[in-house]
Amino acid sequence: MSEIINKANLIPNFIVGIGGSAGGLNAYRTLLGHLSSNTNMAFVFIAHMSPTNKSMLAEILSGTTNMPVIQASEGMLIQANHVYVIPPNVNLFIENYAFKVVTPRTLNKGRHMQVDYFLTSLAEAMGSRAIGIILSGGDGDGTEGCKFIKDKGGKTFAQDLSADDDSMPLHAQASGCVDFVLSPDKISDELVQIAARSI
């Protein structure tokens, strides 16, 4: 019985997909730095990065939060109060509270699609308990994924004009699918409120 209870405690109430690109690192760190470590949410960062370089994102972000920060891998269980980052050169998906990794990553007419792919699978997996966040970055990746989350009853956020590169968040906002337009620290505050209301 205790094993069943312990496993149930690992399952997050919400899974938060966070997309970003150019200028995103400062936003990631600010968002995590203002989050409590017991929201019972899981946080997944989908960052555009070179497909050939080793990613140091997990190590960098681990200095801003008390939650464990882990690079996602195939079949890894998504646990509450954990932070995950996408590996280089993959498309990342969710199936049954676990990661599915497809490599090499694919582009659509030369455009990044990792955020859209992840957020779309997040919407399918979590429905109204999916949350999508678009932070600083170029191009429009993430907008389609946010539309799916909105359609499934989830919540969506875009960074305000504090973004170093506002193309990604502005593109999402222009689509009409964004619920909140806030700075990263205020996004954290709202996430804590969402978590509190779900108890």
Tokens of 84: 């995950």
Distance, in Å, from the CA atom of 32 to the CA atom of 182, rounded to the nearest integer, reads 15
pTM of the model: 0.94
- From residue 42, alpha-carbon distances to 18, 176, 192 in Å are 11, 25, 12
Q: What integer is the mean pLDDT of 150-172?
A: 97
| Share in percent of the chain as helix, strand, coil (round to 5) | 35, 25, 40
- For residues 66 and 87, what is the distance between their CA atoms, to the nearest angstrom? 21
Q: Structural domain boundaries of the chain? A: 2-197
The pLDDT-based confidence of 189 (bands split at 50, 70, 90) is: very high
Per DSSP, helices labelled H in the chain are 2-10, 24-33, 57-62, 114-126, 143-151, 167-174, 184-197
pLDDT digits (tens, 9 = 90+) for 30-88: 999 999 999 999 999 999 888 888 899 999 999 999 999 999 999 999 999 999 999 99
Instruction: Grade residue 105 by pLDDT with cuts at 50, 70 and 90.
Output: confident
Among 187, 72, 87, smallest CA distance to 136 is for: 187
Q: What is the pLDDT of residues 143-159, one digit of tens each?
A: 999 999 999 999 999 99
Residue 182 has pLDDT above 70, yes or no: yes
Domain covering 2-197 in this structure, CATH number: 3.40.50.180
